[in-house]
Amino acid sequence: MRNLDISKKHKGLVSRTVWETGALKISADGLAAICRDGVEFHVFKESVSRFTGILTSSGEEIYEGDILSPIGKDDEAPMLVFRDQLSHSWRAGNPHSEDLPLAECIESRIVGHVFTHSYKLRNFKPTSPPKSELARL
């Protein structure tokens, strides 16, 4: 297994349903692009997410801001992927209350992203200050 520098891998939304993955480039004027194989894909800056270094059991890469759902439960219990600012670890769940280490959530499907599917998180109720920079729901 090769070491993957996850700090250099991001994804960003190019258009309504098209995401690109690769290295992040922010221009002097604040525009964001994902670069892969010598091509720059301009993306919505607010959609840019870091790769966590963790894959689902089906092999999908999990990124910050992804919304996971346990296999077989679909929209029943959505979990937001976020970086816990206190423990500096990847977590999944409600950043305002209950969450789990992301590594314990790999038996899940990616059902959306907070940038495009925030309605799936409508039942998240703040009970404490958010532990994530993504907790802007």
Question: Is residue 1 included in any domain, yes or no?
Answer: no
Instruction: Tell me what the mean pLDDT of segment 52-61 comes to.
Output: 95
Beta strands 32-36; 19-26: pairing state: antiparallel
Same domain, yes or no: 106 and 78: yes
What is the C-alpha to C-alpha distance for residues 106 and 34, in angstroms, rounded to an integer?
26
Over residues 71-86, the pLDDT tens digits come to 876 556 789 999 998 8
User: Span 19-48, mean pLDDT?
Assistant: 94
Q: What is the pLDDT of residue 103?
A: 95
Same domain, 18 and 68: no
Q: Which structural domain range is residue 23 located in?
A: 7-47
Predicted pLDDT at 76 = 66
Find all residues with CB under 8 Å of 42, minimum gap 6, and list them. Answer: 14, 31, 32, 33
- Residue linked to tokens 């998180």: 121
Q: What is the pLDDT of residue 120?
A: 86
Q: For the domain that residue 108 is a member of, what is the CATH number?
A: 2.30.30
8: left (phi over 0), alpha (psi -120 to 50) or beta: alpha
Q: Taking the model in full, what pTM does it have?
A: 0.83
Asked whether the beta carbons of 43 and 34 are under 8 A apart, the reply is yes
What is the reported pLDDT for 127? 47
What total of structural domains would you count in the chain?
A: 2
Mean of pLDDT values over 46-67 = 96
What's the CA gap between 24 and 19, in Å, rounded?
13
Q: pLDDT tens across 112-122, in order? A: 999 999 888 88
